[in-house]
Amino acid sequence: MADDIDKGRRQFFKQSVWSMGKAVHEYYEQQKETAAPAQPEAEVKHRTDWLRPPGAVEEELFVERCTKCGDCIPACPYGSIKKDPANGYPILFANESPCFLCDDLPCIAACETEALVPVGSRADVRMGLANVNRRDCTADQGCQFCIAKCPVEALMVADFSDPYPVVDQSKCVGCGICEQVCSTVNDKLAIKVFSGRPMVAISDLEHD
């Protein structure tokens, strides 16, 4: 008789635990469904802070020449070049994977339509221009990673009384290495490369 009572208690306890676990699971599943409703595809915002690969001709001519073949993408040994999800043209996001200025620039060699054209040397590449946001820069706390990593020595401290890096516009190639380095060592991105290319509607250029 006592065994039957103990068995009944154990069964009741197991049933209670199972019911409670099921209720908790269903509650959290319901919370996930209601807390973050799916964003309609039409409302997804595409990034516009991209750079074109090295050797890219001016924007209107680039859109005219580029066939979106993607040959430059696998040619990049660092996987830096990607297809723009908005329109399929090749782009780089400097804070994720910048251009590492390969000596032979294989991405240019892979382009057969002259959307990317040869440059004399990596110092002649012009993908954009770096800009330092002094408000978010931690150079006053001793950070100089962007200066140390710049492959063309376009960043420097011009005045020892002012610790913030200065961009030599005549040397900056816009590769984005400084931006990527900054994004990995600081909470806030303090240096940003701007392409300087007009953010025109690609569809308008394609149908001109």
3-state secondary structure of 193: strand
Half-sphere exposure of 107 (CA within 13 A, CB side): 29
Contact 84, 51 (CB under 8 A): no
Supply the pLDDT for residue 46. 76
pLDDT per residue, tens digit, the chain (208 aa), is: 545 545 454 454 445 444 444 443 454 445 444 444 444 444 445 788 999 999 999 999 999 999 999 999 999 999 999 999 999 999 999 999 999 999 999 999 999 999 999 999 999 999 999 999 999 999 999 999 999 999 999 999 988 899 999 999 999 999 999 999 999 999 999 999 999 998 654 555 555 5
Supply the pLDDT for residue 145. 96
CA 35 to chain centre: 27
Supply the pLDDT for residue 206. 57
Residue 79, class by beta-carbon neighbours within 10 Å (0-12 exposed, 13-18 middle, 19+ buried)? exposed
Give the predicted TM-score (pTM) of the model.
0.74
- In three-state form (DSSP H/G/I as H, E/B as E, the rest C), the secondary structure along 146-172 is HHHHCCCCCEECCECCECCCEECCCCC
* DSSP-assigned beta bridge partners for residue 97: none
Phi and psi angles of residue 130, each rounded to the nearest 5 degrees, phi first: -75, 145
Supply the pLDDT for residue 20. 44
Domain boundaries, the chain: 59-206
